[in-house]
Structure 1
Amino acid sequence: MATAHNLFDAMPPEQRRMLTELAREVTLPRATRIFEEGRRADRFWIVRSGQVALDQHVPGRQPAVVETLGRDELLGWSWLFPPYLWHLGARTVGPVEAVEFDAAAVRELCERDPLLGRAVYRYVAETVSRRLHGTRTRLLDLYGPQGSGFDD
């Protein structure tokens, strides 16, 4: 199965309808701190427009931006896995339009409806896998011998 373009594409129409009923449109102004690393992960978002910078705490310095998310991207996956704490922080780069979901309600829906649960877990897993691959590539570019290519 190919990777779904967004969360809603990842599921059959009836499950899409059930998840949509839990969605709430939000507008986040520029420089809004959406969540903080180590705090309770109780929501997640699908970005509709704008950009969100994911960052990591660095003692004695400003948080280091590790990735920037944009249109149709999932913001937040820590809500799906115990202990439900954010692994990173997030701040809007400019104004952001997004669809927000209550994490507990979505987890409950996933438990009640196995088709929806499978689609959500698979979509989140594919998102995490894709981002991990991107992180590895960036690390090779920063620290690998001559970037991500190898010379003989």
Structure 2
Amino acid sequence: MTKATKLLTALPPAQRQRLMTLAREVSFPEDTRIFEPEGVADRFWVIRSGAVSLDQRVSSLRRVTVASLGSGDLLGWSWLFPPHRWDFGAEAFSPVRAYEFEAEPVLALCEEDPGLGMTLVRTVAEILAHRLEMTRGQLMEQYSLRRRSS
């Protein structure tokens, strides 16, 4: 299993510095819903401390955690791809401190600096590929456990 890519440390220092000019420090108390599935995805966060769980609603009363994110992790990628709607929900599992980035200025910066834009898109793609690989592994493990118990 490969190590998870961290957005800010993956960017070269000059590009990271340019992106950080758009950052705003925010915090979320424990149990705060950060976003809901199908909501407008107009921002993203890089978690500085704390833990966030990504969840999927499986019924009107039940959510299933699909991933847990922590320090250095990217929270939110739907801002980058149409239709710009969240695929999952997110909730602060503990008190969270994060850098928040509004999508519009980040996208404008990427247009102005195509090198930064390409690096940012590649890094987000690496993060998504890693999360997909992790999810696939979890599904295979669950499948194998169910087959053994049958």
TM surpasses 0.5: yes
Name the Cα RMSD after superposition. Answer: 2.0
User: Is 1:3–1:123's contact at 8 Å kept on the other side of the alignment?
Assistant: no
Task: State yes or no: 1:93 paired with 2:65.
Answer: no
Task: State yes or no: 1:57 paired with 2:44.
Answer: no
Q: 1:5 to 1:131 in 2, by over 3 A?
A: closer
Q: Answer with 6-15 or 42-51: which moved more.
A: 6-15
Runs of 5+ unmatched residues, structure 2: none
Bigger share in helix: 2
4+ residue segments displaced more than 6 Å: none
CA distance in 2, matches of 1:4, 1:54: 16
Aligned to 1:104: 104
The secondary structure found in structure 1 opposite 2:27 is: strand
Aligned pairs for 1:3-152 (under 5 A) are 5-144=5-144
Q: Could you tell me which amino acid in structure 2 is paired with residue 24 of structure 1?
A: R
Q: 1:56 to 1:146 in 2, by over 3 A?
A: closer
- 1:123 Cα offset (Å): 0.9
Seq. identity, %: 49
- 1:61 Cα offset (Å): 2.5
User: Is 2:5–2:127's contact at 8 Å kept on the other side of the alignment?
Assistant: no
User: Is 1:53–1:91's contact at 8 Å kept on the other side of the alignment?
Assistant: yes
Count of paired positions: 147
